[in-house]
Every structure is written in structure tokens, then in C-alpha cells.
A and B are shown apart, each in its own frame.
Chain A
Amino acid sequence: MRTFVLRRLFYAFLTVVGGTLLLFILSRMAGDPRVLYMDDYSKPDPEVWERLGEKFHLDKPVPVQYAYWVWDITRGEFGESIAATRPVEDVIYSRLWNSIQLGAVAWALGTLVGVPLGMLSAVKRGQPIDYLGRALALTGQSLPSFWVAIMAILVFAEILGWLPSATKGEGFAVRNFVMPAVVLGWLPAASYLRLTRSSMLEVLDSEYVKFARSKGVGMTTVLWKHTFRNALLTPLTFSALLLLGFVTGTTVVEVVFAWPGLGRLAVESVWGNDFPVLSAIMLMMVVLYAVVVLALDLLYALVDPRIRYS
């Protein structure tokens, strides 16, 4: 178990290093990195130019520059947002909470719909409910989420007028969450459904389930005692992969629904050439992702003893 934990910690560390390294290399590939941090780089303010040169230690070798840059980040100094002319941390923290709210609601929705439907689909294999579930999953994986979002606005906001088209508003209003959360939760729900279904079927086909059945154990008991627990391990491991898709989805859905979250901030910073903000968001996502994957891996090892020793 100890080697396993250490190994996973090392992987998480590697991910974070990879992320910073990539960002650093990219910013240096653009030529003089100071250009990225200037509002109007055709006529740079000499004073700011000098100050930035000093900040990035451009007179020193590149690896040393990287070290200084990482040191700045670890202390939370991302610099100043070009568009908002205030520290990047302030800009990000004001948006982070909105993203977490939306993400949590959509996540819960995806899990609560996808996993039970997947189980049902496997138990009632070949019946109408199975086909319905699989159709839902297939369309969920093929439909572009931005298009679904736009069509949802068209139907429920423009034509029917039931829900607000694009806003978060103040506080927590369920009305505002319905459309973004459903659109965002659809893809995870679809993936969960497929994963749960195939892993359920695998367990239902296994020797020990057949043995329990032939011994005379009722189907209900077999399902609850023998199948569900084992079958849910696979979807759990894949949660990490789903999360990655989630980050993508959040960005798009936030843009369509004008949701004041991190994803939209990232896209806005691309449009506004705001490199400090974008790099801070990317690093934040990298760290967040590494931590979640680590937590899920450890959780998985805790639930399934076979994993620890492989």
C-alpha cells in the first residue's frame, strides 16, 4: 500500500510539473515573454518593460528563469491581469465559486441519473428501458454540448419562456441552474451509463453470480449483495477521465449561458489577450485535476484490495 501511495503521489507531482513546464515553454516560444504581459506591445512603456525583464530574470539562463517563475507561482503571485488591472488572484477567486456551484450540481445530476440508469439498463437488458438508456447515452456522447445548450435556450427560453436564457443572478436560484446543469450533466451521465452497464453485465456473467443463482439465492439478493458493489468499481475509476471532459464542457456551457465562472473567464482572457489570467486558470485546473485523480486512485485502492498490489 505504501509503494502504491508513493507512486501515485509521484504521478500527481509529475502532472503538475508537466503543466508548469508546458506553460513555461509555450510562453518562451512566443519570443520575448514580456510581449505577452503587455497591453499594447507595439509601443512598450520602457519603465514597465524594464521591470518585467527584471521580474522574469531574462539575463539569466532559461532553467533559472523557470525556477524563479515557479517560485513566484507557488507563492501565489501570478502578476496583474492586463484587462482588469488588478491582481490575477482577485479576478479568479471572484469567478471560482460560481464554477464550483455549477460543476457540483451538474456532477450530482450526472451521477444520480447515469449510474442507476446504467444498472437498470443492464438488469433489464434487451427491454425497452435498456434501449432508451442506450439511446440517451449514445446521443449524449455525439451531441455537441454547445449546440444542445443553444437549442435548449431556443426551446425553453425563447419559445416557451419557462427559464431564463442566460444568467446566474445573485445568490442561488434553482431556475437559473436548470438548463446549464442539465446540459453539462448530460455527457457525464451518458458515460456513467455506458460504463455502469457494461461492468454490470460483466459481473452478472461471472461465475460467482451464476453460482449464487444456482445455489438458490434470489435475484434481488444477488443484485444487491454480489453485483452492485463489484460493478461500481469500474465507473469509479473512470470518474477521473470523466472529470477531464467536464472541464471542457464547463467552458463551453459557461460561454453559452453567460455564466460568470472560470471557464468563461479563460475564454474571455483569450479574446482579450490576457495571458496572466489564462496561465493562472490553467495551472489551477492542472493542480485541481491532479489532486482529484490522486484522491480517486487512493479511494479505488481502498475499496478494491487487488489494485494495491499490482
Chain B
Amino acid sequence: MKIAESTPTGRANSLGHRLGVVVLAAWAQEVFFFLRRWPVIPGMVLGTLVVCAIFAPWISPHDPYQNTLSDRLVPPAWTAEGHSKYLLGTDWIGRDQLSRIIHGARVSAGVMAIALSVGMTVGTILGMLAGYFGRHVDETIMRIVDTWAALPFIMVALVIRLIFGQSYGVLVILLALLSWPGAVRLVRAEALSLRTRDYVAMAKVSGASTPRILFKHILPSVWNVVLVTASLQMGGIILVEATLSFLNVGIPAPTPSWGSMTSAGKDYLKDAWWVAMFPGLAIFFVVMAGNFFGDWLRDRLDPTIRQIN
């Protein structure tokens, strides 16, 4: 009652208002739990990435390669000197930043998808072989994996770039080379425990061939692990791709990529902060969303490797 008296109109005490507060609080809690339970925000960010990647030519307001020299280094639209034509401003030769970022999504997502598929395929096959056959096969494959993982990746990337030049193919191979060891390790651990299961023994007894056992009986069970590995690596792969492009090792010049856009923006920092800032923000959001999504998927599909929170 004291509280009600202290409010000037006393309206806060009315039944309807109190009910409203309760309903609102319950609703807010519901929303909060929903956001904790389902990766809504990461899903939205990744969804935007996919949409941008697929529909880039149709949704970007300008041609990402079209330079308009009279519109060099136009600031973002909301600043005093900005122009509504260029929402995120233009770069040093007057190309629209937003269009380049949207097309950059296409490049990043495409390269990531191909590299991850290649890396996961190779990693899964080797991991199954190592886990299923054990002994020398296992020892050999794991030694190769450990040795490869112990090499400083960025240096290997630089050497490969120097020898083979700068191209998409080289970049995809580099990123695939980065991703396969993780898949081998996890798939191997899974296959190691699967091969002693009864159903595998039964298949063997009834005369199933080794490829049949591997692909019909082992593969379906390691599928979850592969999916989790791939999703956990998404963010890292995008980050490495951006880093390589930043160092002029990744995607070749005129093609828009977030890493190389940031790199170029570095030289115009004094007059045009927006050139370097927005591509970097795009990388940050996508990598963060990828990490969250990967964690969520891991908890969902593979509770045994769940982290303690």
C-alpha cells in the first residue's frame, strides 16, 4: 500500500496495470529463455550471410566493381557529408562499400563452404580408416596429422602463395589443409569406440565388405561429429581467410573480400575511417555468430563433449 500511495496517480495499483506488469515480465522471461535455448541471433546473422551470398547481384545497390571517381571517399549516409546513395560510404576510387561487403559475403561463404567440404571429406575418411583399422594405419595417419598440425600454418600459406601465386584454387586448398586435422581427430575417436560395437561385429560376421562396414555402418554414426566439427570451424576458417586476404595471400585484387578491403582501408585511415571499419565489423559478426552456432550445435548433437559452463 505504501508504494501505491507514493505514486502520484495511484494508477500503478490498479489490477489491470499489475496484471500487465506480470504478463510483460513473464513474456520477457519467455523471450530470454527462448534466446538462450535457440541460436536466434547467430542464426539471423548466418542467414543474412547466406542470403547475401546467394542473392548478392540482386540486393546490392551498386555494382561492386564500378568506380565513380567523382564520388571518392564519400562518408556513410548518416554523417554530415554523407550521401543517401551510398549507405556505408565509398572507397578510394568511389566504389560503393555496402555493395562490396555484400559481394564479399559471397566470396567468404563460397570459399568457406568449398574448403570445409573438402577438408571434412578427407578428414572423415582418414579418421574412419585410422579408428577402424587401428594399429599401424592409425599410428601412421595420426603421426601425419600431428606433424602437419604442428607446422606454423601462416608460414606454409606464405610459401605456397609465393610458389603458386594468388588464386581462388590456392586459397581453397590452403583452408582445406587447415581444416582436415580436426575432423580426423574427432572422427577417429568416434570410430575407435564404434568398431567394438555388436552391430559392427555382426556385419563383419555376416560377410559385409570393409567399405560397406565403413560407409553403411560407421559413417552414419560419425555424421554428427563431422557436422559439429564443421560448424565449430566455420568462424575460424572465415577469420583465417580474411587474414590471408589481408596479407595479400588470399583472394586476388579486384574481387571484393573483407580482408583485403580492410587492408586497403588502412592507408586511408586518417581521412576515411569507414573504409577499414565496416568490412572488419562484418568479419566480427559472422565469426562470432559462427562460434555461437557451433557451440550450440555441439551441445545439441553431442552432449558427451559438452563444456562445463
A30 lies within 8 A of B147 (CB):
no
A20-56 at interface with B (beta carbon < 8 Å): 22-23, 26-27, 29-30, 36
B287-302 at interface with A (beta carbon < 8 Å): 287-288, 291
- Given that A18-B151, A251-B247, A286-B151 are contacting pairs, would A23 and B159 also be in contact in the complex, using a CB cutoff of 8 Å? yes
B255-278 at interface with A (beta carbon < 8 Å): 259, 262-263, 265-266, 269-270, 273, 276-277
Binary interface profile of B, 192-208, with partner A (CB < 8 Å = 1, else 0)?
00000000000000000
Smallest Cβ-Cβ distance to A246: which chain B residue? B152
With an 8 A cutoff between CB atoms, is B242 at the interface?
yes
With an 8 A cutoff between CB atoms, is A247 at the interface?
yes
Instruction: Enumerate chain A residues within 8 angstroms of B121, measured Cβ to Cβ.
Output: none
For the complex formed, measure the closest distance between the CB of A210 and the CB atoms of chain B, giving whole angstroms: 15
Contact of A22 among B156, B242, B259 (CB under 8 A): B156
Chosen A-B contacts, 26 in total, with CB atoms closer than 8 Å, are A14-B147, A15-B151, A18-B147, A18-B150, A22-B156, A138-B288, A142-B284, A142-B291, A143-B284, A143-B287, A144-B280, A146-B242, A146-B243, A147-B284, A154-B276, A158-B270, A201-B308, A247-B152, A252-B246, A270-B161, A271-B248, A278-B155, A278-B158, A282-B155, A286-B151, A289-B150
Q: How large is the interface on B (under 10, 10 to 19, 20 to 34, 35 or more residues)?
A: 35 or more
Instruction: Enumerate chain A residues within 8 angstroms of B18, measured Cβ to Cβ.
Output: none
With an 8 A cutoff between CB atoms, is A107 at the interface?
no
For the complex formed, measure the closest distance between the CB of B113 and the CB atoms of chain A, giving whole angstroms: 20
Contact of A267 among B158, B270, B273 (CB under 8 A): B158
- A271 to B265 alpha-carbon distance, docked (Å): 19
- A104 to B152 alpha-carbon distance, docked (Å): 18
A150 lies within 8 A of B160 (CB):
no
A144 lies within 8 A of B284 (CB):
yes
Smallest Cβ-Cβ distance to B292: which chain A residue? A138
Instruction: Enumerate chain B residues within 8 angstroms of A154, measured Cβ to Cβ.
Output: 269, 273, 276-277
- A309 to B37 alpha-carbon distance, docked (Å): 42
Contact of A15 among B147, B239, B246 (CB under 8 A): B147
Instruction: Enumerate chain A residues within 8 angstroms of B146, measured Cβ to Cβ.
Output: 11, 14-15
Instruction: Enumerate chain B residues within 8 angstroms of A198, measured Cβ to Cβ.
Output: 307-308
A248 lies within 8 A of B153 (CB):
yes
Instruction: Enumerate chain B residues within 8 angstroms of A144, measured Cβ to Cβ.
Output: 239, 242-243, 246, 259, 262, 280, 283-284, 287
Binary interface profile of B, 56-99, with partner A (CB < 8 Å = 1, else 0)?
00000000000000000000000000000000000000000000
- A281 to B163 alpha-carbon distance, docked (Å): 15
Instruction: Enumerate chain B residues within 8 angstroms of A256, measured Cβ to Cβ.
Output: 266
B184-227 at interface with A (beta carbon < 8 Å): none
- Given that A154-B269, A282-B155, A282-B156 are contacting pairs, would A142 and B287 also be in contact in the complex, using a CB cutoff of 8 Å? yes
With an 8 A cutoff between CB atoms, is B11 at the interface?
no
Instruction: Enumerate chain B residues within 8 angstroms of A150, measured Cβ to Cβ.
Output: 262, 265-266, 269, 276, 280
B159 lies within 8 A of A15 (CB):
no
For the complex formed, measure the closest distance between the CB of A11 and the CB atoms of chain B, giving whole angstroms: 7
B158 lies within 8 A of A22 (CB):
no
- Given that A201-B308, A270-B249 are contacting pairs, would A138 and B150 also be in contact in the complex, using a CB cutoff of 8 Å? no
- Beyond A11-B146, A289-B150, list 11 extra A-B contacts (CB 8 Å): A15-B151, A147-B276, A153-B269, A158-B270, A251-B154, A252-B246, A256-B266, A270-B158, A278-B155, A282-B152, A289-B151
With an 8 A cutoff between CB atoms, is B148 at the interface?
yes
B155 lies within 8 A of A285 (CB):
yes
With an 8 A cutoff between CB atoms, is B143 at the interface?
yes
With an 8 A cutoff between CB atoms, is A293 at the interface?
yes
**Top 3 A-B pairs, shortest CB-CB distance:** A147-B280, A18-B147, A142-B288
Contact of A293 among B150, B277, B309 (CB under 8 A): B150
For the complex formed, measure the closest distance between the CB of B64 and the CB atoms of chain A, giving whole angstroms: 20
Instruction: Enumerate chain B residues within 8 angstroms of A146, measured Cβ to Cβ.
Output: 242-243, 246, 259, 262-263, 280
- A293 to B156 alpha-carbon distance, docked (Å): 18
Instruction: Enumerate chain A residues within 8 angstroms of B308, measured Cβ to Cβ.
Output: 198, 201-202, 205
A26 lies within 8 A of B163 (CB):
yes
B164 lies within 8 A of A30 (CB):
yes
Binary interface profile of A, 252-264, with partner B (CB < 8 Å = 1, else 0)?
1001100000010
For the complex formed, measure the closest distance between the CB of A41 and the CB atoms of chain B, giving whole angstroms: 13
A248 lies within 8 A of B154 (CB):
yes
With an 8 A cutoff between CB atoms, is A141 at the interface?
yes
For the complex formed, measure the closest distance between the CB of B152 and the CB atoms of chain A, giving whole angstroms: 4
B153 lies within 8 A of A26 (CB):
no
Smallest Cβ-Cβ distance to B236: which chain A residue? A141
Of A145, A146, A271, chain B has the most CB atoms within 10 Å of the CB of A146
- A151 to B235 alpha-carbon distance, docked (Å): 21
Instruction: Enumerate chain A residues within 8 angstroms of B276, measured Cβ to Cβ.
Output: 147, 150-151, 154
With an 8 A cutoff between CB atoms, is B15 at the interface?
no
Instruction: Enumerate chain B residues within 8 angstroms of A201, measured Cβ to Cβ.
Output: 308-309
Instruction: Enumerate chain A residues within 8 angstroms of B283, measured Cβ to Cβ.
Output: 144, 147
With an 8 A cutoff between CB atoms, is A183 at the interface?
no
A285 lies within 8 A of B152 (CB):
yes
Instruction: Enumerate chain A residues within 8 angstroms of B150, measured Cβ to Cβ.
Output: 15, 18, 244, 286, 289-290, 293
Of A150, A247, A275, chain B has the most CB atoms within 10 Å of the CB of A150
Smallest Cβ-Cβ distance to A204: which chain B residue? B308
Instruction: Enumerate chain B residues within 8 angstroms of A202, measured Cβ to Cβ.
Output: 308
Binary interface profile of A, 139-164, with partner B (CB < 8 Å = 1, else 0)?
10111111100110110001000000
- A270 to B163 alpha-carbon distance, docked (Å): 9
Instruction: Enumerate chain B residues within 8 angstroms of A151, measured Cβ to Cβ.
Output: 276-277, 280
- A17 to B288 alpha-carbon distance, docked (Å): 37
Instruction: Enumerate chain A residues within 8 angstroms of B155, measured Cβ to Cβ.
Output: 247, 266, 278, 281-282, 285-286
